[in-house]
Amino acid sequence: MQQLYDVFFASSNKNKYQEARAILAEFGIKLGFFNCKLLEIQSDSIRKIALHKVTDAFSQCKKPVIVEDDGLFIDSLSGFPGPFSSYVFKTIGNKGILQLVNTKRNANFQSVIAYCDKKQVALFDAKIKGKISKKTHGKGWGYDPIFIPHGQKMTYALLKNKNEISHRYLALRKFAMWFVRKQQSIYR
């Protein structure tokens, strides 16, 4: 019997899963969705948060699993909201962020993909520089309507190729290349 999924994506965020599934499919990786609530520690490090979440996810599903943690780091706000991006989005949203940002709009989006199976844990991170738009553009989810990646004129929400250039794509690509090599070495 053929395995249905190569790895599971643990999250309660279906949007992140949909993006990750589409990206990993390009590398031939079948991604299943493990809908769950994960313990999220308070830390100023998205790497530490992702590491904690992936070990919690593996303890729940007992299968190879990945989680993604990301953060929007705004230079003029000393990196805020950073690892608290999800909470800040739920409380003040894009409108609140736009009110906080002054004329200095530089920012970066960071993503960490954490993998865990019964033998190992591995982290893959990526960052993309950009800026915060002056107003909301597009109907994407999360901070997509206000983040303009470097070298682009439109927000993530308006870009047709977001899944080819985003922070999440870059981190998932690192994971995928590692995972494919790992699988090939197992089956040699």
What residues are annotated to the active site?
Answer: 69
Please give the distance of CA 15 from its chain centroid, rounded to a whole number: 10
- Of 44, 107, 45, 110, the residue nearest 75 (C-alpha): 107
> Closest Cα to residue 94, out of 81, 103, 106, 104?
81
Distance from C-alpha of 53 to C-alpha of 147, rounded to nearest angstrom:
25
Residue with tokens 């992702």: 50
Q: Helix or strand or coil: residue 72? A: strand
Packing angle, helices 167-186 and 14-25, rounded to 10: 50
Residue 79 tokens read as 């990196």
β-strand pairing of 106-116 with 121-132: antiparallel
Q: Within 10 Å of residue 65's Cβ, how many Cβ atoms?
A: 25
